[in-house]
Structure 1
Amino acid sequence: MSNFLLGAAIVLSGGLVGVEFCVAVFINPILDRLPNNGGLSARADGARLLGRIMPFWYVATVVSAGAATALLWTTASGVLAGIATALFAATIVLAVTVLVPINNRVGRWSHGEHPEDWREQVRRWDRWHYLRVALVNVGFVLLTASALIPAG
């Protein structure tokens, strides 16, 4: 059972890493280069879509990693999985306290209606998002490493 939960957590966190990395490194920079604020509507649409999906994905990752940690706790694998779980939980705290409020504002904007400081707000979101990307990446690496430690 612990192998199944650990595998599920690795798959879920690996997907998170891919999505969050892609948003940070490819999607948002491309959208920001569109002329005449063309990326603003796309960012708003992305904020609405991902804002509905990602909370469930993050919670599923924390729950599966936490369950694997509980089953493996007395092993070296369990310690690494525990640290990874703590990092994933920290990303939820970061999201709820900093990223979600900005994301909710962005989700309400349209190409014609947005605040004058919209660029600064999305840059602030991007800066905090880089921290989230780092946390989920480290969590993913630790979780994967925990699966590579021989039992015994």
Structure 2
Amino acid sequence: MNILNVATILCIGLLIGGELAVSAFINPVVWKLDLAAQARASQLFGRRLGRAMPVWYIASLLLLVSETITHRHESHIGLLGVAIAFWGAAIALSLLSLVPINNRMVRLDADGWTESTQRELRMWDGLHRVRVAVLAVSMIFFLAGLGI
């Protein structure tokens, strides 16, 4: 296994783990807080992750593309292409639905945090879970493409 394989596995694996942690641990805890605390916590997480994740997603995509170029003459190249397609689908889902909701959430003050806002945040979480599943499928195809 070469350094590119290790870097790609770490990069996408840690990203998927971080995204899973948001749905499985962070959001359920935040939802138990009062509305003002939910608003503040969601704003803080939304801003922090909103800055870091785009860079991480693009870096992961570039690593997947690099892996595909590196392994272009191998028999499992199609699996690497499928991994890229799923990763791209996750990015598209993010840009078309999750990012706009996140951007609205981080702009709200505590007074703007209503039941409607909470429903929108739960919709975000449902879409986010779909994204996590798509990312996991991408990882599976990537690992299969490497023969791991």
Corresponding residue of 1:4: 3
Corresponding residue of 2:67: 68
Corresponding residue of 2:80: 81
| One-letter code aligned to 2:75 | A
- Partner SS for 2:111: coil
The CA distance in 2 between the partners of 1:138 and 1:74, in whole Å, is 23
Aligned partners of 1:16 and 1:136 also within 8 Å: no
TM superposition shift of 1:34: 1.6
- Give the alignment of 1:10-21 within 5 angstroms: 10-21=9-20
The CA distance in 2 between the partners of 1:3 and 1:139, in whole Å, is 20
Deviates more, 1:122-131 or 1:108-117: 108-117
TM superposition shift of 1:29: 0.9
Aligned partners of 1:84 and 1:139 also within 8 Å: yes
Deviates more, 1:115-124 or 1:35-44: 35-44
The answer to whether structure 1 residue 53 and structure 2 residue 82 are counterparts is: no
TM superposition shift of 1:67: 1.2
Aligned partners of 1:5 and 1:65 also within 8 Å: no
TM superposition shift of 1:24: 0.8
Runs of 4+ in structure 1 displaced over 6 angstroms?
none
Paired residues, number = 148
Q: Which runs of 5+ in 1 are unaligned?
A: none
The CA distance in 2 between the partners of 1:57 and 1:87, in whole Å, is 16
Q: Which runs of 5+ in 2 are unaligned?
A: none
The CA distance in 2 between the partners of 1:115 and 1:34, in whole Å, is 13
Aligned partners of 2:47 and 2:106 also within 8 Å: yes
- Partner SS for 2:80: helix
Q: CA RMSD in A?
A: 1.8
TM superposition shift of 1:37: 4.7
Corresponding residue of 2:131: 132
Deviates more, 1:103-112 or 1:10-19: 103-112
Corresponding residue of 1:101: 100
Aligned partners of 2:40 and 2:110 also within 8 Å: yes
